[in-house]
Amino acid sequence: MNLTLRVWRQGGSFGDGRMVPYEARDVSPDMSFLELLDVVNEQLIAGGEPPVVFDSDCREGICGMCSLVVNGVPHGPDRGSTVCQLHMRKFKDGDTITVEPWRAAAFPVQRDLVVDRGAFDRLIASGGYVSVNTGSAPDGNAILVAKDLAEAAMDAAACIGCGACVAACKNASASLFVGAKVSQLALLPQGHPERASRVTSMVQTMDALGFGNCSNEAECEAVCPKEISIANIGRMRREYLRALVIGPGR
Amino acid sequence: MNGAPRIAPAGARQLDANIPSGPIPEKWDRCRFDSKLVNPANRRKFTVIIVGTGLAGGAAAATLGEAGYNVLSFCIQDSPRRAHSIAAQGGINAAKNYRNDGDSITRLFYDTVKGGDYRAREANVHRLAEVSVGIIDQSVAQGVPFAREYGGLLDNRSFGGAQVSRTFYARGQTGQQLLLGAYQAMMRQVGAGTVKLFPRYEMLDLVVVDGRARGIIARNLVTGAIERFQADAVLLATGGYGNAYFLSTNAVNSNATAIWRAYKRGALFANPCFTQIHPTCIPVSGEHQSKLTLMSESLRNDGRVWVPKRGGDTRPATQIPEDERDYYLERRYPAFGNLVPRDVASRAAKAVCDEGRGVGETGLSVYLDFAESIGRLGEDVIRERYGNLFQMYEKITDENPYKTPMRIYPAIHYTMGGLWVDYNLMSTVPGLFVLGEANFSDHGANRLGASALMQGLADGYFVAPATLPHYLAGASLPRISTDHDAFREAETAVRSKIDRLLAVKGRRTPRDIHRTLGRLLWDNVGMGRTEERLKLALAGIPGLREEFWATVSVPGSGAEMSQVLEYAGRVADYLELGELIALDALERRESCGGHFREEYQTPDNEALRDDESFTHVAAWEYAGDGALPVRNVEPLAFEYVKPSQRSYK
């Protein structure tokens, strides 16, 4: 099939950007969306033109590096999928497709479709862990975890840190990302000693980094490639309230 | 062939693996006891560079940061959490014997040495089996949500090459969860100020001062700036070199540049021909393909591998009656059946496809069929075990594996070879340590499933943090600045290479040339190797390399974010490394593990080792561009696991 792409090009963090059209001919329906961009780039490079810069790595939906807004939707039209797993069979011959970067104050564009998501690392550094030094752990089976709790923790832990939730949110809130990590570690007994301090620190850091607040529109859940539930945002709020009552030092 | 003159010069270098004395179960303890220590108050005075943030690099950064060292952590991705360890699916082995099925440290040691086809260093493997149990404890304590049984205890599954269930897992995302555990531990140290992060930085050279690794030259991938970093030791945890083959299950940015540039600074490269071809990958669909996707080996617990008995049978799988199917793994290997090790399963798939019995449009795939398991256990159980993998398969192929068998074919997945290290994980450049897949040490000629995660974390959490202090405490490490001549020289070399790439201004893309190299390597240095084809590869690569330097197109100035420049630099390295892989494969005139030389096989087509001539590590030494590298040898001794014909029948 033949397609027209309208792609956001921006020289650097401070440059002006604009949409640039590209024609893609003889596109195979078995191609992934990123492989389509590869083909467009091959033509640009062979012609001595700077290719479209975009992030990707594992190309199997787990590393969280790819980050494109396709036709206005983070990761494109396929639900529960990263854009690297979006295949061209989801499009029709003659379609025009717009491709843009994540847009959020906390995720500045670095070039073309690439943004800086270092804010997510800073959120994890502010408390998204269990404080356990290497070598000091008890036997793995000394900590019992009920199967349903382990499954619920795993549902939250499946977050790949791509940032689509932020890109989809009109407030650019990181609540789903923070909620998922807070939930995982609040559900598991290993996370309990730092339960209050963790949620307090992560929520405050989220505000300080320029992410907005959550207004319950669930657009994050709709675009999340791992279909992380907004129930995790609810749990984050309950954890935060609990911390306010018992004190963040606990 | 035997008795033919050697192609590569034989080295006279004595490689001391520094294996501690004493019985094998006591060696690791003895090593730690004999190690010099660094006083806690002095640790912050030592700067350690760690390149790579996967299981090995992330775990090492976290642990050394906790200990109080000043750690500088580099990765090419936008965040340390993206490292390719994240894509490991099936699980991690540990000798916990929670199933009471006869497992032990000795058995894991034995299985790993045998699985590696007697080409690994026994002492290293035993240590790996010993520390495996601590890895599970550490990860659980970090909050890794491993699969549990109803009583709340940890669950296990089986993996290839073992008859016990010792594999711990977190759905089909074990690598992700273990990596996030290590990443979170590391980010805690970032918060504490002991670890400093350098994301989107690519190491482009190693700086050696007075014979010791003292720093790196790295390119800031956002601004294009070339920067110098000095340290007291450098740890490389940059993964394997499978992407030399263009199509592999590696992430598209995984590359060999850090280890290759270290090789050119004096680190020896061991067993480059030991590449692992994974039997269960989604087959290639077309020219546009940028990578291959793995379907976890765990699927072979419940999936049965087969092809039609008759060649050219084009009926859909579901219409081929039971008695016209050949479940060739169950037939050839009744004891292990579908759970034979990866090298054996891959070769068997190639054999049936070579006979013309492969399926799919290209004839280059075999079926992995779940119908029997779904019938026995129900679709829900299969969905619970493998749901995410089935979903991934359907997304890529548009076929529903609950209804019709998966089609799979072998693909390059892992590299057992890597930089040579001694027992302490130190390379031949003092102060340069190599961890995880980037080193060669533990898997011999073939890695067992669920052992890569084990080795990465063993090296990062337990081994390097115990052996590095011994080096730091014993070495003379005068203060140096990055104005030192060695830094200036290395930076100049890096800049001139970049300038050269930018100056060609040809018409061929780096990807196009990489694809050509990959095909050359896959066809000639892939699953079945012969002297003739290896010589074809060796004859073809230099020409391709010349073509690259004459025709490559790298638009832009380099003083900006430029993925095409990054990629071109990596391809330039593959064009050199590919030749070393082929040369090593040519010189190893035997079959073992993932290295199958068709001239050397048993009457029933199994790998035929030549223990007399090749019970050794081949450690290649760079001798200058255009010169043949020198082949040094580290003899291997098997005192505990006696080499035998590896049998899974």
- pLDDT of A180 reads 98
> What is the ipTM metric for this complex?
0.98
pLDDT tens-digit series, residues A11-51: 988 878 999 999 999 999 999 999 999 999 999 999 999 99
Indicate if A131 and A105 belong to the same structural domain: no
Indicate if A181 and A123 belong to the same structural domain: yes
Does any CB of chain A come closer than 8 Å to the CB of residue B557? no
Percent share of chain A, pLDDT over 90: 96
Does any CB of chain B come closer than 8 Å to the CB of residue A131? yes
Give the tokens for residue A145: 């975890």
Domains B279-412 and B488-617 share a fold: no
Indicate if A127 and A180 belong to the same structural domain: yes
Residue B401 has pLDDT above 60, yes or no: yes
pLDDT tens-digit series, residues B27-58: 999 999 999 999 999 999 999 999 999 999 99
- Residue A210 Cα, gap to closest chain B Cα (Å): 19
pLDDT tens-digit series, residues B254-306: 999 999 999 999 999 999 999 999 999 999 988 889 999 999 888 999 999 99
Indicate if A144 and A180 belong to the same structural domain: yes
Indicate if A128 and A180 belong to the same structural domain: yes
pLDDT tens-digit series, residues B466-484: 999 999 999 999 999 999 9
List, as ranges, residues 456-485 from B with C-beta within 8 Å of A: 461-462, 465
- Residue A152 Cα, gap to closest chain B Cα (Å): 9
Name A47's Cβ contacts closer than 8 Å, sequence gap at least 6. Answer: none
Answer yes or no: are the C-beta atoms of A6 and A21 closer than 8 Å. Answer: yes
Q: Is B488-617 a CATH 3.40.50.2300 domain? A: no
Q: Which of B150, B176, B188 sits opposite A131 (nearest CB)?
A: B188
Q: Domain spanning B279-412: which CATH class is it, in words?
A: alpha beta
Does any CB of chain A come closer than 8 Å to the CB of residue B99? no
Does any CB of chain A come closer than 8 Å to the CB of residue B166? no
Residue B1 has pLDDT above 50, yes or no: no
Chain B residue closest in CA terms to A133: B66
- Residue A244 Cα, gap to closest chain B Cα (Å): 23
Residues of the domain holding A59: 3-111
How far, in Å, CA of A24 to CA of A52, rounded? Answer: 14
- Residues in chain B closer than 8 A to A39 (CB atoms): 288
- Residue B362 Cα, gap to closest chain A Cα (Å): 15
Domains contained in chain A, number: 2
For residue B145, the SS3 value is: coil
The secondary structure of B383-417, three-state, reads HHHHHHHHHHHHHHHCCCCCCCCEEEEEEEEEECC
Q: Smallest Cα–Cα separation from A200: which of A156, A158, A245?
A: A245
Indicate if A100 and A153 belong to the same structural domain: no
pLDDT band at B182; cut points 50, 70, 90:
very high
Q: What is the mean pLDDT of chain A?
A: 96
pLDDT band at B6; cut points 50, 70, 90:
low
Chain A residue closest in CA terms to B67: A133
pLDDT tens-digit series, residues A102-152: 999 999 999 999 999 999 999 999 999 999 999 999 999 999 999 999 999
Q: Which of A50, A76, A111 is the last residue of a domain?
A: A111
DSSP assignment letter at B236: E
Chain B residue closest in CA terms to A128: B184
Does any CB of chain A come closer than 8 Å to the CB of residue B156? no
Mean pLDDT value of segment B225-252: 98
Give the tokens for residue B573: 């390295």
The model's pTM: 0.97
pLDDT band at A250; cut points 50, 70, 90:
low
Answer yes or no: are the C-beta atoms of B14 and B44 closer than 8 Å. Answer: no
Indicate if A125 and A240 belong to the same structural domain: yes
- Residues in chain A closer than 8 A to B508 (CB atoms): 46
Residue B3 has pLDDT above 50, yes or no: no
Burial class (CB in 10 A: 0-12, 13-18, 19+), A46: middle
Q: Smallest Cα–Cα separation from B241: which of B490, B79, B418, B73?
A: B418
- Residues in chain A closer than 8 A to B150 (CB atoms): 147
Structure-token match 């992380």, residue found: A228
Indicate if A104 and A39 belong to the same structural domain: yes
Does any CB of chain B come closer than 8 Å to the CB of residue A208? no
- pLDDT of A136 reads 92
Indicate if A124 and A107 belong to the same structural domain: no
Residue environment code for B325-353, b if the CB has 16+ CB neighbours within 10 A, otherwise e: bbbbbeebbeebbbbbbbbbbbbbbbebb
CATH of the domain at A134: 1.10.1060.10
- pLDDT of B5 reads 52
- Directed axis angle between helix A118-125 and helix A175-187, to 10°? 30
- Chain A and chain B share a number of CB contacts under 8 A equal to 235
CB atoms within 10 A of CB B481: 8
Catalytic residue among B304, B342, B529, B588: B342
* Residue B631 among the catalytic residues: no
Domain-by-domain residue ranges, chain B?
279-412, 488-617
Q: What is the mean pLDDT of chain B?
A: 95
pLDDT tens-digit series, residues B519-570: 999 999 999 999 999 999 999 999 999 999 999 999 999 999 999 999 999 9
pLDDT tens-digit series, residues B122-177: 999 999 999 999 999 999 999 999 999 999 999 998 887 788 999 999 988 999 99
Q: Which of A30, A65, A116 sits opposite B82 (nearest CB)?
A: A65
- pLDDT of B2 reads 42
Indicate if A94 and A153 belong to the same structural domain: no
Contact B87 A58 (CB under 8 A): yes
